[in-house]
Structure 1
Amino acid sequence: MNLDDDRPPADPLAVIARERATAERGLTPDPRMFSWPWGVAWLVGFTLFFLRFGPDGRVFVDLPGWLPLTTLLGLMIAAGVVTGVAGARAGRHVSGPSSRQGALYGVSWSIGFAGMSVVLSQFTGLLSEAMSGLLWAGVMVGLTGVLHMAGGAAFDDRHLFVLGAGISVVNVAGVLAGPGWHSLVVAVAGGGGMLLAGLLGWLRWRR
């Protein structure tokens, strides 16, 4: 009989920490599923806006006028489906206040964007096409940043809060730059920032 088999682990605290990290990773969805779909949507969608509706009305690529908005909305819907499925899969093992908290946060996104769309639609006809586009894009991107910060505060997620704050800063910079430039800033810094945030979050998640 080997008496070494009855000895406790050399470092019980390390074993406990490792098992806890494994359990948490199993309950936490892959961060890429929450950042990359939106990053791709913004990078592609707003790049098309910049190419078609550039600064001072310049057209870099003569695309159909409907294509940028249709592409952006389609990619955002797809991103919403991907993140919704990822969140649902992660939440199926969780019950109680945490599950309700996540569900309410998801509903907040839907209500916030739907309500803001109704409000903005009342002012679209009062502005030029360029300023109307800037208003819609600036408000929607700003709302995204605020909701990310709210989620970071609600779930005690510092990285999510920082991402939301970064989106808000990028949005303000783009709005101040003006129509056309806002699309470029949001595409590169906003969409690219989300892709980078997803990568960094995934690396932390794996560790």
Structure 2
Amino acid sequence: MIADDDLPPEDPAAALRLIDEQRATAARQFEPDPRAYYWPWGLAWLIGFGLHFLYYSPGDTPLVEMPSWLPLTVLFVLLAAAGAVSAVAGARAYGQVTGESARRGAWYGWSWGLGFLTLFVLAGRLSDSLPPDLVGLLWSALAVGLTGILHMAGGAIWLDRPLFLLGVWITVVNLLGTIAGPGWHALIVAVAGGGGMLLAGLLGWLRRRGRR
């Protein structure tokens, strides 16, 4: 015997609302918390590039005395931690997704890995030909620039407007920082780039919460 709650609604409008609610519920289940994706990267940029600005300041003297290895080490550790957190969040959200969406995600992930591998090889080859201040600018500008481009590519693949706009913002921030020059680039990326990611995570979480 079928319970009344299991019967489909007789009102077409109610049936459409039920379908929309089920779709929204499924979308939330397969959508990672934006805070878990953006906030670790935003904090990594804010702290890591902030330390770079404090040590490799536009002047010849560091604004804050610290070991020369500390800014780069902290940045790499924070980036690795951010990558681990976002990877876990993505695996939990998309682990059961198969088919075309799964292939898009896998290929997009390979694009990040191969893109940064190419960047490291290229920057490593050019570093010996540049003065120390330009070496730091080269590495950071290439890394931030590639990040912005890949964010825009991800937004285009999944028609995700906030992701695409974040990529545009990161690209503009990187261009302004590169024009400003060594030292200033780290400050601009730390505040505007890291802050932009933190804001993107907050706005994404608010949108997600509003759809419930």
TM class by smaller structure:
over 0.9
- Give 1:184's match in structure 2, choosing from 183, 187, 191: 187
For residue 175 of structure 1, what is the amino acid of its counterpart?
T
TM-score normalized with structure 2 length: 0.92
> Identity of counterpart residues, as a percentage?
56
Q: What is aligned with 1:85?
A: 88
Q: What is aligned with 2:63?
A: 60
8 Å CA contact 1:56–1:179 kept in 2: the answer is: no
How many pairs are equivalent? 204
Matched residues in 2 for 1:144 and 1:57: separation?
A: 29
1:85-110 Cα offsets, whole Å, 9 max, x none, are 11111122210110111011111111
Q: What is aligned with 2:73?
A: 70
Matched residues in 2 for 1:32 and 1:106: separation?
A: 19
Residues 52-201 of structure 1: matches in 2 within 5 Å? 52-201=55-204
1:101-138 Cα offsets, whole Å, 9 max, x none, are 10111111111111110111011111111111011111
Q: What is aligned with 1:28?
A: 31
For residue 75 of structure 1, what is the amino acid of its counterpart?
L
Matched residues in 2 for 1:57 and 1:111: separation?
A: 36
For residue 19 of structure 1, what is the amino acid of its counterpart?
Q
More divergent stretch after superposition (84-93 vs 117-126): 84-93
**Could you tell me how far 1:14 is from its partner in structure 2?**
2.4
Matched residues in 2 for 1:15 and 1:194: separation?
A: 34
Matched residues in 2 for 1:110 and 1:85: separation?
A: 16
1:6-60 Cα offsets, whole Å, 9 max, x none, are 8746733223222211111111111112111100100000000000110133311
RMSD after superposition: 1.6
Is residue 46 of structure 2 the alignment partner of residue 43 of structure 1? yes
**Structure 2 gap segments, 5+ residues each:** none
**Structure 1 gap segments, 5+ residues each:** none
1:119-177 Cα offsets, whole Å, 9 max, x none, are 11011111111111011111110000000001111111111000001000000000111
SS in 2 for 1:57: coil
For residue 125 of structure 1, what is the amino acid of its counterpart?
D
Matched residues in 1 for 2:95 and 2:73: separation?
A: 33
Matched residues in 1 for 2:10 and 2:192: separation?
A: 51
For residue 180 of structure 2, what is the amino acid of its counterpart?
A
TM-score normalized with structure 1 length: 0.94
SS in 2 for 1:54: coil
SS in 1 for 2:140: helix
For residue 136 of structure 1, what is the amino acid of its counterpart?
W
For residue 156 of structure 1, what is the amino acid of its counterpart?
L
More divergent stretch after superposition (103-112 vs 165-174): 103-112
SS in 2 for 1:112: helix
